[in-house]
Amino acid sequence: MRFLFRCARLTVLTVAGLWASAAVFICVVGASIPYDRTDMAVVFGNALEADGTPGRVLTSRLDVALNCYRSDQCATFFVSGGIDGPGLDEAAAMRDYLIAGGVPADRIVVDNKGDNTLATARNAVAYMRDHGTSRVMLISQYYHLARAKLAFERAGASDIYAAFPHSFQLRDVYSSWREVPAYAVYGIRLALDPNSKPVSFRPLLYLQSLLARSDEPGT
């Protein structure tokens, strides 16, 4: 029994070590993507507050986008997100935030069907092809950028750059660990079928919806 316990503990420690190493590698790859002037910047959506305004993570991404605009590094913005519920349109909230920050409305493309990374990549690349542009900047958290770049490469983009908020939150630890299986799934699915259908699953939003339901009368 003691031998089996030691083997189990060793297995758990080995898996945890490999997982942590993979998470660090993914973060380093994302943070190492070069930054340069581009035709279009893609801002990935994230959760909104209850009043429909961008949450903390999304605000940090939008502030990076505003800095990009003010430094004349981004000509057009492609804001892409999903619908989280009634009055919770991520892309519309991002557009409003950028306009309030001084970005002209005609420089913002709104995509409210980008409720996952692959969908955003395909929608953005399709727009770029239609408008004859090629250089794209991805704006998201550092831990997400490696997978985002993979999705854009598989969608057909070639000149890919990136920018990210230079800040750290405790939830980044969870998000970095989550990126390991997410990146692996993307890599395998897109290698086996480049046209595989985008699938969206947001654990935190799902848990929030379950908690909200539990607070309703009769539940």
pLDDT in tens, 100-157: 999 999 999 999 998 899 999 999 999 999 999 999 999 999 999 999 999 999 999 9
29-168 CATH choice from 3.30.70.1560, 3.40.50.720, 3.30.420.40, 3.40.50.620: 3.40.50.620
Q: In angstroms, rounded to a whole number, what is the distance separating the alpha carbons of residues 206 and 219?
A: 17
Mean pLDDT, the chain, as a whole number? 86
Average pLDDT over residues 25-29: 94
Spell out the residues 6+ positions from residue 142 whose beta carbon is closer than 8 angstroms to its own.
27, 30, 31, 164, 165
Q: In angstroms, rounded to a whole number, what is the distance separating the alpha carbons of residues 27 and 207?
A: 25
Q: In angstroms, rounded to a whole number, what is the distance separating the alpha carbons of residues 76 and 109?
A: 8
pLDDT above 90 as % of the chain = 63
Confidence (pLDDT) at 206: 46
pLDDT digits (tens, 9 = 90+) for 64-109: 999 999 999 998 999 999 987 777 899 999 999 999 999 999 999 9
For residue 209, pLDDT over 60 is answered with no
For the beta sheet containing 74-80, the strands, ordered from the edge strand earlier in sequence to the opposite edge, are: 108-111, 74-80, 38-44, 135-139, 159-163
Grade residue 199 by pLDDT with cuts at 50, 70 and 90.
low
Confidence (pLDDT) at 208: 47
pTM for the full model?
A: 0.85
Confidence (pLDDT) at 219: 41
Average pLDDT over residues 203-210: 48
With contact defined as beta carbons under 8 Å apart, do 80 and 111 qualify? yes
For residue 216, pLDDT over 80 is answered with no
Average pLDDT over residues 3-29: 78
Grade residue 36 by pLDDT with cuts at 50, 70 and 90.
very high
